[in-house]
Structure formats: structure tokens, C-alpha cells
């Protein structure tokens, strides 16, 4: 009977430690980020229904990335419509529309590709998408350093979400 209880305790300890193993340490991810505090707020914003393991968390940030990219495209279209009297500004926003765009090589194209790659567990490919996507965001934002619209902030958010996702997909690649 004593031996049986010991077995039960050992088993429970084993179960507990393997759960702990699967729950990811948010601090250790975010200290690798370009903007650690953004990363922490992002990862802690996950709804209760989303698991705390690496894969669930990465899927969550990819979904946020998708939403933010769509919102950024909506903003860019609005800015194009509002800047008709200033061709230089309007050209900048049109450049950004192409860079964030609907075409395959735009930010949205990379986001859609990464969602597909993630589903197939091609985490390395998701990481590649994140790297290219960040170049496109930077190209847009650096096109007009004096832009006073919300676009630089939106772009920076997209960049930081991609950065956080990249850290997690690198961890998934190393694990697999």
C-alpha cells in the first residue's frame, strides 16, 4: 500500500512537471525582443481560451498580426483618400499600400502565407515570412520620417508582433 502511494506521488509529480514543461516562460521569450515591454503586453493579452504552450501562443500572435495588418491597410486607404491635395504625401501612402498590400509580395501576402505554413508545421518558413515582412514595414515607414499620421505607430506594432512571433517560431524550429 505504501509502495502504491509512492507510485501515485511519483506519477503526479511526473504529470505536473511535464505540464510545466509545456507552459512557456513569457519572460524568457520577451527578453530577446526588440521591444520587450510590447512583447510582454502582447503575450499577456491572450484570452483565457488560448493555451500557454509555445504553439498556441505563436498561433495567437499570428492571428493578432493578421488583424493588425488588415487594420493598417484600412488606415492606408483612408490616408490615400484624405491626401488628394498633397501629391507627395499621397505617393508615400500609395507606396505603403503596395508594400503592405494585397499582392503576394506585400505584408498581407506574407501574413497569409505564414498562417498556411504554420498549419503545416513549417515553422522555419513562418520565420522567413516574418523577416521579409519586417523589411517591407521598414521600407514603408522610412519613406516619410516626418509622417504625423497614425501609420508609423500601426507599422511599428506590426513590426513588433512579427518580431515576437519570430522568436517563438525559432524556438519551435529548434525543438522539432
Ligand X SMILES: *[C@@H]1O[C@H](CO)[C@@H](O)[C@H](O)[C@H]1NC(C)=O
List residues binding ligand X (CB under 6 A): 42, 45, 64, 67-68, 71, 154, 157
* 27 Cα distance to chain centroid: 16
φ, ψ of residue 143 in degrees (nearest 5)? -65, -25
At closest approach, how far in Å is the CB of 112 from ligand X?
A: 17
Closest contact distance (angstroms) between CB of 17 and ligand X is 32
In the complex with ligand X, the residue whose CB is nearer, 63 or 90, is 63
Residue 129 or 157 with smaller CB distance to ligand X = 157
CA angle at 134 for the pair 128 and 139, rounded to the nearest 5° = 135
DSSP state of 23: B
Nearer to ligand X (CB atom), residue 9 or residue 150: 150
Nearer to ligand X, 67 or 77 (CB): 67
State the minimum distance, in angstroms, from the CB of residue 103 to ligand X.
21
Minimum Å distance from CB 12 to ligand X? 37
> What Cα–Cα distance (Å) separates residue 71 from each residue in 67, 84, 102, 170?
6, 21, 13, 27
The H or E element that residue 107 is part of is helix 107-119
Amino acid at each position: 500500500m505504501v509502495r502504491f502511494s509512492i507510485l501515485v506521488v511519483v506519477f503526479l509529480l511526473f504529470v505536473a512537471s511535464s505540464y510545466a514543461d509545456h507552459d512557456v516562460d513569457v519572460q524568457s521569450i520577451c527578453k530577446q525582443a526588440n521591444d520587450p515591454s510590447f512583447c510582454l503586453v502582447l503575450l499577456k493579452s491572450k484570452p483565457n481560451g488560448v493555451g500557454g504552450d509555445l504553439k498556441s501562443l505563436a498561433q495567437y500572435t499570428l492571428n493578432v498580426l493578421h488583424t493588425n495588418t488588415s487594420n493598417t491597410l484600412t488606415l492606408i486607404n483612408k490616408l490615400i483618400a484624405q491626401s488628394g491635395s498633397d501629391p507627395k504625401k499621397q505617393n508615400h501612402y500609395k507606396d505603403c499600400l503596395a508594400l503592405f498590400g494585397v499582392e503576394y509580395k506585400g505584408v498581407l501576402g506574407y501574413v497569409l502565407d505564414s498562417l498556411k505554413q504554420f498549419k503545416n508545421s513549417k515553422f522555419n518558413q513562418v520565420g522567413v515570412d516574418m523577416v521579409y515582412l519586417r523589411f517591407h514595414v521598414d521600407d514603408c515607414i522610412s519613406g516619410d520620417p516626418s509622417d504625423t499620421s497614425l501609420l508609423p505607430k500601426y507599422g511599428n506594432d506590426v513590426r513588433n508582433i512579427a518580431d515576437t512571433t519570430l522568436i517563438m517560431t525559432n524556438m519551435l524550429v529548434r525543438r522539432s
